[in-house]
Amino acid sequence: MNRQSFRSPLARALGLGSAKRGSRHWLAERVTAIALVPLTVWFVASIIARAGSDYTAFVSWLSTPFASVGMILLLIALFHHTALGLQVVIEDYVHSGARFAAVIAIQLCCYGLAVVGVIAILHIAFGG
């Protein structure tokens, strides 16, 4: 035997026990995914329909109520989905103490970027 610890195998497998949570995170990732299917398809189709158009045409489209509401919903769902997804990626691969810091950084960046995007849309919609 080459023991490096005298903890029993069961104690090791039990670890700190069950967190009794995780389903909310999982469900939120699915809910945002469902929201993103129509929102992203609409966004991509709208961009294709405006390919090669100039600044005025683009801004006048973005300032219509339908487009600005759609874009704001898209940004909220997109960055929520991104924050949840990247958190899982970090938890999978980062095993050092940097894990917690990285998860916090990802969440701050995502929600910060969502706010920046939403403010920019509102600025365009209500004509700055």
Partner 1 sequence: MIINSSDQVSRFTWLKRFPIPHNFDVMPDSRIRPGRTWPAPAGATKTKAFDIYRYDPDSGDNPRLDRFHVDLNDCGPMVLDALIWIKNKVDSTLTFRRSCREGVCGSCSMNMDGTNWLACTRFISDMATPATIYPLANMRIIKDLVPDQTHIFAQYAVIEPWLRSKTPEPEKERLQSVEERSRIDGYYECILCFCCTSGCPSHWWNGDRFLGPAVLLQAWRWLNDSRDEAKEERLDNLEDPFRLYRCHTILNCTRTCPKGLNPGKAIAEIKKMIIERES
Partner 2 sequence: MDAKPPPLGKKAPRPRPLSPNIQIYRPQLTSVLSIANRATGVLLSLAAIGLVIWISAAAAGPEPYAVIQRALVSWAGQVVLFGVTFSFFLHLCGGIRHLVWDTVHGFELRSIYISGWSVVAASAVLTATAWAAGLFVAGSR
Q: Closest separation between CB of residue 23 and partner 1, Å?
A: 5
12 binds partner 1 (CB under 8 A): yes
Of the listed pieces 5-13, 33-41, 56-64, 73-81, which binds partner 1 according to CB under 8 A?
A: 5-13
124 binds, among partner 1, partner 2, none (CB under 5 to 8 A by kind): partner 2
33 binds partner 1 (CB under 8 A): no
Residue ranges in the chain assigned as alpha helix (H): 9-14, 23-49, 55-62, 65-93, 98-125
In whole angstroms, what is the distance from residue 115 CA to residue 119 CA? 6
97 binds, among partner 2, partner 1, none (CB under 5 to 8 A by kind): none
Q: What angle do CA 121, 117, 77 make, to 5 degrees?
A: 105
- In 3D space, the residue among 84, 106, 76, 75 whose CA is nearest the CA of residue 27 turns out to be 84
Of the listed pieces 14-22, 39-47, 50-58, 110-118, which binds partner 1 according to CB under 8 A?
A: 14-22
